Structures are given as C-alpha cells and as structure tokens.
Structure 1
Amino acid sequence: MKIIMFGTNACKDCLEAVKALDERNADYMYLEFSESTANLKRFLKLRDTQPLFEEVKKKGAIGVPCFKLEDGTLTLDLQEVLDKL
C-alpha cells in the first residue's frame, strides 16, 4: 500500500511515525513541510477542506502526522496505517 505522510521534523510524533513506517518497510512518501512551501500548501489545502481536521483546529493543533492512503482515505492515526500494512 502506498502512503503519503504529511508532517514536519519539528514534530516528535512525525519522527516516531517515520521510524515506525521505516521499520515496517512501508512504501511511503514523506511530505515534510517545514522546509517546503509547496508541501505546506498541499497540506493546508487538505487541512482547510477536510472534516477530519475540524476537531484538530478547534483544539488549536496542527493535525500531523497526517496520512493519505492509496484509496484516498485520510487519517491521523498511525496505528490505523500500520494495521493496514
């Protein structure tokens, strides 16, 4: 399963997710956005338009790591991703 992961290296949870995906030899692309305006814009478009992020925004959180699965599913739950590998 191909996975897109949005995140930043400044986030401990994102770094742990990268480690977990690497340990599972997952086929993923990490779109790190603290150093890429293009990646940040791509993430913000999702964050601003997807219901998944409503509670995240209410809490003042960012919503990373965020995973987009091959079938288009979006999740903030690393375990859900790992369970599907």
Structure 2
Amino acid sequence: MDSLIIYGSHLCPNTLYSIIKCKDKGIQFRFKDISANLADLKEFLTIWSEDSDKLFQQAKDQGMIGLPLFILPDGTKTRDLNGVLAQK
C-alpha cells in the first residue's frame, strides 16, 4: 500500500471536505466511493463489521455510518482527518 485510502461517499459532506483538505495538503490518496462502487462498499462493510478496535463505536451510537474512513499507508485505520493531515 503506497498511498492513503479514503473510504467515503460523494454524497457525504464530511467525505467531500476531507478530500478537499487532503488535496490542498498535496496528500496522494485513492478514493473508494461506497455509494458508487459495490466492491468498495463490500470492503468498507467488512471493516465496519469487524470493528474490533471500536473505531466506529461513536458513529454507531449516533446512528451514523462512520465516513470518511482513512487507511494510512502502514495499514492503520483512523477516522481522524486532523491526524491524517498532520502526517504530511
């Protein structure tokens, strides 16, 4: 894995904001749009359902999906945009 992966949706304002911020910082990423691609949706749902580290617990408690999700080049999963931006 050589670049950041962003799981999100083109319908999600938080995802769109994150994409803009990453582009502004010059961060290279692959965008996996779970609203437009079933394979991307399946990948995201697998991560979401196997949430052993409770990455999505707050989102689940609030009835939200938990987008965007960032997977760093080292495989670390996070929902923290500021942390992603700070790594550049």
**Alignment-derived partner of residue 39 in structure 1:** 40
Counterpart mapping for 1:47-58 below 5 A: 47-50=48-51, 51-58=54-61
**Which moves more between the two structures, 51-60 or 16-25?**
51-60
Name the aligned partner's letter for residue 83 of structure 1.
A
Partners of 2:47 and 2:64 in 1: CA distance: 15
Superposition TM-score, scaled by structure 2 size = 0.90
SS of 1:52 mapped into structure 2: coil
SS of 1:81 mapped into structure 2: helix
Q: Offset of 1:10 from its aligned partner?
A: 0.5
Partners of 1:37 and 1:17 in 2: CA distance: 21
Percent identity between matched residues is 32
Structure 1 unaligned blocks of 5 or more: none
Counterpart mapping for 1:3-22 below 5 A: 3-22=4-23
**2:6 paired with 1:2:** no
Q: Aligned residues, how many?
A: 85
**Counting strand residues as a fraction of each chain, which structure ranks higher?**
1
- Structure 1 ranges of 4+ moved more than 2 A: none
Structure 2 unaligned blocks of 5 or more: none
**Alignment-derived partner of residue 31 in structure 2:** 30
Q: Offset of 1:80 from its aligned partner?
A: 0.6
**Counting helix residues as a fraction of each chain, which structure ranks higher?**
1
